[in-house]
């Protein structure tokens, strides 16, 4: 298996290097090509920071991150669609910025909206859509970049449970169809067990990788599969154990 993302000995200080807060402490991690990797941890454990570093939104204080030149897309908890553009316009902007010629864009937009099951929403404005639809447009926009790596920072955290289940199905389907490498950040053990091929558990103070769990379950999965629930319970125990270690010092 090829490595899509190689993270080696990465540390991140906020503020002055050495004197500031240590947000990430010596994190090393390889993400395989086509892997759906979940990063689980409570808030403040540096999981979003790690994602920002991979995306190039921030630079690491130490260590290196290598994505082998693969294009990187990213989704956030908020869809971050541009409100002055329609649904089509938002996707078109991504196409245009990745150099797709004007003549090909309309067909690509149709195709991408079909992929996220939003055909016919072209002319809608972001504020006219529900939270789940906005996230689907954001997903279409990320796919428009032809990204090989998709970073997802708690993208479904603000959605209701029913919509979230549907988004999990879509994420699973699209990642398989396109062979995407996904890093999915969440604080929800159930979500991590539902989605991940592998789950990295992070612990705070300073942010580091505490343990990892392979979730070797057949796909497509469902949130209420017994096996998913078992994996979730195992992740829960891991989180609790790290919590105890933290309090013991």
Partner 1 sequence: MVDTQVKPSTGGQSSFRLPMLNEPGESSRTRFRQGLSARWSALWPPIVAIIIAIVAWQLIVLSGWKPSYVLPGPQAVGLKLLEDLGDPRFWGAVGTTMIRAVIGYAVATVVGTVLGLAVARFRVLRAAIGSLITGLQTMPSIAWFPFAILLFGLNEQAILFVIVLGAAPSIANGIISGVDDVPPSYLKTAHILGARGMSLLAQVIVPAALPSYLAGLKQGWAFAWRSLMAGELLVIIAERPSLGVQLQYYREFADATGLIAIMIVILVIGVIVDGLFNRIMNSVRLRRGLGPVRL
Interface with partner 1 includes 59 (CB under 8 A)?
no
| 176 vs 230, beta carbon nearer partner 1 | 176
Exposed / middle / buried, residue 25 (Cβ in 10 Å: 0-12, 13-18, 19+) = middle
Q: How far is the CB of 160 from partner 1 (least distance, A)?
A: 10
Going residue by residue from 153 to 192, which x/- string records binding to partner 1, judged by CB under 8 A? ---------xx-xx--x---x-------------------
Interface with partner 1 includes 219 (CB under 8 A)?
no
Q: Please select the residue that binds partner 1; options are 132, 155, 204, 207, rule is CB under 8 A.
A: 132
CA distance 149 to 216: 21
Interface with partner 1 includes 106 (CB under 8 A)?
no
Interface with partner 1 includes 30 (CB under 8 A)?
no
CB half-sphere exposure, 101, CA atoms < 13 A: 2
Interface with partner 1 includes 101 (CB under 8 A)?
no
Interface with partner 1 includes 97 (CB under 8 A)?
yes
| 201 vs 228, beta carbon nearer partner 1 | 228
| 148 vs 208, beta carbon nearer partner 1 | 148
φ/ψ of 5, rounded to 5, equals -130, 120
| 61 vs 135, beta carbon nearer partner 1 | 135
Interface with partner 1 includes 72 (CB under 8 A)?
yes
CA distance 96 to 228: 40
Q: Quote the distance between the C-alpha of residue 224 and its chain's center.
A: 22
Stretch that binds partner 1, among 12-20, 33-41, 62-70, 111-119 (CB under 8 A): 111-119
| Separation of first and last alpha carbons in the chain | 38
φ/ψ of 63, rounded to 5, equals 90, 180
Interface with partner 1 includes 218 (CB under 8 A)?
no
Interface with partner 1 includes 198 (CB under 8 A)?
no
Q: Which parts of this chain interact with partner 1 (CB under 8 A)?
A: 55-57, 72-74, 76, 78, 80, 82-85, 93-94, 96-98, 114, 117-130, 132-133, 141-142, 145, 162-163, 165-166, 169, 173, 220
């Amino acid at each position: 298996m090829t490595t899509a993302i190689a993270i080696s000995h990465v540390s991140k200080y906020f503020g002055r290097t050495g004197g500031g807060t240590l947000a990430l402490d010596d994190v090393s991690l390889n993400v395989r090509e086509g892997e759906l990797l979940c990063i689980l941890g409570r808030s403040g454990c540096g999981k979003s920071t790690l994602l920002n570093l991979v995306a190039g939104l921030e630079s690491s204080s130490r260590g290196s991150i290598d994505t082998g030149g693969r294009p990187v897309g990213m989704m956030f908890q908020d869809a971050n669609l541009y409100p002055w553009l329609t649904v089509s316009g938002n996707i078109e902007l991504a196409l245009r910025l990745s150099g797709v010629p004007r003549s090909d864009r309309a067909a690509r937009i149709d195709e991408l909206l079909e992929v996220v099951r939003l055909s016919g929403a072209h002319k809608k404005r972001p504020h006219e859509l529900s939270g789940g639809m906005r996230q689907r447009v954001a997903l279409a926009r990320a796919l428009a970049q032809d990204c090989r790596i998709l970073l997802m920072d708690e993208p479904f955290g603000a959605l209701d449970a029913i919509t979230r289940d549907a988004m999990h199905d879509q994420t699973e389907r699209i990642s398989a169809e396109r062979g995407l490498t996904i890093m999915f950040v969440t604080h929800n053990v159930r979500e991590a067990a539902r989605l991940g091929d592998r789950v990295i558990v992070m612990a705070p103070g300073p942010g580091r990788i505490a343990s990892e769990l392979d979730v070797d379950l057949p796909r497509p999965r469902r949130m209420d599969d017994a096996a998913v629930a078992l994996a979730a319970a195992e992740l829960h125990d891991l989180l609790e154990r790290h919590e105890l270690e933290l309090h013991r010092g």
